[in-house]
Amino acid sequence: MPAAEPVAATDAGRVGPEPTLPDAATLRALSASCGLELAAFRPAHVARTIARAVTRLGLPGPAALAAAIHGDPGLRGRFRRAVAVSTTGMFRDPAQFELLDRLMRADDRSGRPLKVWSIGASDGSELCSLALLLEAQGVLDGATLLGSDLMPENVALARERSRERLAPAVFSALRFEERDVSRSTPDGTWDVVLCRNVLIHLAPGPKAAMLDHAAGALAPGGLLLLGRSERLPVSDRRGLVDAGANAYRCAP
Ligand SMILES: C[S@@+](CC[C@H](N)C(=O)[O-])C[C@H]1O[C@@H](n2cnc3c(N)ncnc32)[C@H](O)[C@@H]1O
């Protein structure tokens, strides 16, 4: 009997064979037409995203999808969002904000202004939530809050939504920038680095590089918070120690 194929729910809710990635040339064509390096994302996620789009649009295959995306800015935008997964929300996973609140209140900062970096900032909800937390703690004055995201459309949305959501004095502490964090980091070191729900969507190489950048950007005693389902492997904590669920601290 042949080995069972892995299965995945299809759009119609049926169960079918797990989609596979198209050949390298088609993947390059798709990357070029959508403007994202598809090889940077987890292969199974990319394969499913392509298969879903092909099915939904009734196309003969991935090559036709590349051509369709090329000629349709709306479709291009939807495909990019599906690949980069921009799901977010204010105080997403509230227990993580409660943990941050506790850990940050326990820190003796001797009046030094805080620096917070949100990796994969999406529409800015995460950084807005942090800004409100710092305001409630009375430590927003002089703080620097930076959100980095791969997608320029997310950066524009983050600026717009944050301006709408926050009082001007709170909004003025926030900055957003376009950056591929698997390739580079902003200057300086950070007291809090949020890298939530980004690593799970990346291929192993970019994922390791992003983790190196996130851990390497911590100030002495700084905190790194990963997503609820993300952990640093015990064998490779990058010199950080556990600080709570999915939270790690740099040596002082
Ligand atoms: C699922 S959202 C996470 C949003 C937020 N951190 C949260 O947990 O609510 C993932 C975000 O990471 C961004 N992203 C993906 N790869 C990235 C990279 N290499 N560098 C920076 N941002 C990236 C995506 O554009 C998307 O906005």
Which tokens hold the place of 37?
A: 């390096």
Q: Are residues 181 and 71 in the same domain?
A: no
Confidence of residue 15 (pLDDT cuts 50, 70, 90): low
Confidence of residue 67 (pLDDT cuts 50, 70, 90): very high
Asked if residue 234 belongs to a domain, the reply is yes
* 14 burial level (CB within 10 Å; 0-12, 13-18, 19+): exposed
Specify the residue for token string 């983790």. 211
CB-based pocket (< 6 A), ligand 1 = 84-88, 92, 119-120, 122, 126, 148-151, 154, 179-182, 196-198, 227
Query: Domain end: 52, 84, 116, which one?
Result: 84
Residue nearest to atom 16 of ligand 1 (CA): 150
The helix/strand count (H/E) of the chain reads as 9, 9
Residue nearest to atom 27 of ligand 1 (CA): 122
Asked if residue 2 belongs to a domain, the reply is no
pTM: 0.92
Asked if residue 65 belongs to a domain, the reply is yes
Specify the residue for token string 């991935």. 62
Structural domain containing residue 151: 94-249
Residue nearest to atom 7 of ligand 1 (CA): 88
CA of 206, closest atom in ligand 1: 19
Smallest CA-to-CA distance from 50 within 28, 74, 33, 27 is with 27
Q: Are residues 118 and 225 in the same domain?
A: yes
Strands, E, within the chain: which ranges?
7-9, 15-17, 115-119, 144-149, 174-178, 190-195, 218-226, 241-244, 247-249
Q: Are residues 112 and 207 in the same domain?
A: yes
Q: Are residues 57 and 105 in the same domain?
A: no
Lowest-confidence pick of 18-22, 44-48, 60-64, 200-204 = 18-22
Q: Are residues 169 and 198 in the same domain?
A: yes
Query: Domain end: 84, 115, 131, which one?
Result: 84
Q: Tell how far the Cα of 51 is from the centroid of ligand 1, in angstroms.
A: 22
What span, in angstroms and rounded, lies between the C-alpha atoms of 132 and 53?
38
**Sign of the dihedral defined by the CA atoms of residues 40, 44, 118, 79, in that order:** positive
Asked if residue 228 belongs to a domain, the reply is yes
Asked if residue 157 belongs to a domain, the reply is yes
Segment 50-76 shows an average pLDDT of: 96
Chain segment 17-48, per-residue pLDDT in tens: 789 999 999 999 999 999 999 999 999 999 99
Question: Looking at residue 73, what is its pLDDT?
Answer: 96
Residue nearest to atom 2 of ligand 1 (CA): 86
Chain segment 132-189, per-residue pLDDT in tens: 999 999 999 999 999 999 999 999 999 999 999 999 999 999 999 999 999 999 999 9
Please tell me the total count of domains within the chain: 2
Asked if residue 72 belongs to a domain, the reply is yes
Question: Looking at residue 250, what is its pLDDT?
Answer: 95
